[in-house]
Amino acid sequence: MRYTQLLRSASHGPRYIRHAPPLPPNVSTASKVISKTIGAISIFWILYKIKEDGMVMIVSELITLVSSSSFLARY
Write down the pLDDT at residue 42.
Answer: 96
pLDDT of residue 28: 95
Residue 18 Rama label (left phi>0; alpha psi -120 to 50; beta): beta
Q: What is the DSSP string of 13-73?
A: --SS-TT-PPPPP---HHHHHHHHHHHHHHHHHHHHHHHHHHHHHHHHHHHHHHHSHHHHH
Residues of the chain where predicted confidence (pLDDT) is lower than 70: 1-17, 68-75
Q: What are the residue boundaries of the structural domains of the chain, listed by start?
A: 29-75
Question: Is pTM, for the whole model, over 0.85?
Answer: no
Q: Are 61 and 68 in contact (CB under 8 A)?
A: no
